[in-house]
Amino acid sequence: MYGSGNEKGVPRPERGGDDPEPTRRIPVQPRPGASPPRMPDRLPPAEQYGATPEPAGRPPAPPWSPRRSRWKRPGTWVRLVLLLLVLWLVFLVAVPLFTWSKVDKVAYEPSGERPSEQPGTTYLLVGSDSRAGLSKAERRRLHTGNETSELTDTIMLLHTGEGPTTLVSIPRDSPLDIPGHGVSKVNSAFSKGGTPLLVQTLEKATGVRIDGYVEIGFGGLVGVVDAVGGIEVCPKKRIRDKPSGLNIKKGCQEVDGATALAYARARKYSPISDLARVQQQREVVAAVGKKVLSPWSVVNPVRYWKLNAAVPDFFRFGEGMGPYDASQWALAMTDAPKSCTVPLASADATWDTKRARKLFDTLAEDRTDDITADLCTATGLAP
């Protein structure tokens, strides 16, 4: 009965209802010139207890939603792809630079009088039959014979400039005047005075200034061909050549390094001997160049590494040539619209002086557009 009153027993009036005079709050008058007090905004219940507010515009994730993995975010994959591209570019640049630091350089320029500077660029490519680096078993397998031999089985001049790139083979048995040694087969100049004497002999005979030098040994050809996965050759008939160890069927086919070397050396099977061989050598060199510069040789990291790793062991370049010069030479080797043998008077490799002079004048003057069919034939013999 007393539960609704105060401690003194006076009944407590009921709030609301019919109370004629309910308790009223007296409004507070702000001081003159003062801003009215601002009531703080009420925070959401979760934030009142320290929860992080959701970003504007994004609906709150349900409490049962799992956290998103970083590998499912597009930005992660974009950064990963960019990183891999950067590493790939570094690999493509670093490997050739590392390779070039190990390549042997050859002092090929002769002393004394030489042809003056000429337009365009002319490279001398020499396929040496040096057996250096080959074991006895390898020499037997490759049919290379005497390990002390130092002759040049392949001699080519590659000219590139304003006109069509031109590749000219010089038969190794060509009788030329070797300075200080009289007339002899041109390939003997290499053994008598090394690269400078060979360059001097060719410059004197052709009037063409040699601007770069590339040398590849027997083992080099095998290693490079195998590094690029083989090359295609297209013999026009079946060839059995015992000295080189070649036994190959007619028609286009893929061959490995050992077969490619035998194909480049074979000559006894043909009545025109060395003239047949120089054609096969140009075919092999062009096929190697195409494989080396194919996109697959760059895209495939294993092939790219093997190819570059083969260069220091088997290639030598002239002093003054850098990686860019070497790449320009390789690129030119794959695109030589005009490919022929120096004009010859007979199958014994004696030059046709008149026709040869016309051919080499066009090279010296960078007028390869003017090379006519009678100056540039596969065998060198007049059509």
Domain boundaries in the chain? 104-370
Determine the pLDDT at residue 1: 45
- What is the residue whose two structure tokens read 């697959």? 296
Q: Mind spelling out the 3-state secondary structure of 332-365?
A: HHCCCCEEEECCECCCCCCECHHHHHHHHHHHHC
Helix residue ranges per DSSP H, the chain:
45-48, 74-100, 136-142, 188-206, 218-227, 257-265, 274-292, 295-299, 301-314, 323-333, 353-364
Q: Are 169 and 175 in contact (CB under 8 A)?
A: no
pTM of the model: 0.71
Determine the pLDDT at residue 2: 46
Determine the pLDDT at residue 30: 60
pLDDT in tens, the chain (383 residues): 444 455 555 555 555 555 555 555 556 566 666 566 565 556 555 555 565 665 665 565 555 555 656 666 677 778 888 888 898 889 888 888 888 888 889 999 998 889 999 999 999 999 876 555 556 666 566 655 555 555 577 899 999 999 999 999 999 899 999 999 999 999 899 889 989 999 999 999 999 999 999 988 766 788 889 888 899 999 999 999 988 889 999 999 999 999 998 998 888 887 777 788 888 888 888 888 888 778 888 888 888 888 888 788 778 899 999 888 888 888 888 778 899 999 999 988 999 999 999 999 999 999 999 999 999 999 999 98
- Residue 168 bridge partners (DSSP): 157, 340
Determine the pLDDT at residue 247: 93
Instruction: Report the distance separating Cα 58 and Cα 75, nearest Å.
Output: 19
What is the dotted CATH code of the domain comprising 104-370? 3.40.630.190
Instruction: Report the distance separating Cα 98 and Cα 86, nearest Å.
Output: 18
Distances (CA, A) of 230 to 27, 190, 257, 264, 308: 101, 29, 6, 14, 15
Identify the DSSP state of 208: P
With CA atoms as reference, report the closest residue to 194 among 317, 123, 108. Answer: 108
CA 82 to chain centre: 21
With CA atoms as reference, report the closest residue to 60 among 75, 46, 81. Answer: 46
Determine the pLDDT at residue 22: 57
Q: Are 321 and 212 in contact (CB under 8 A)?
A: yes
Determine the pLDDT at residue 41: 58
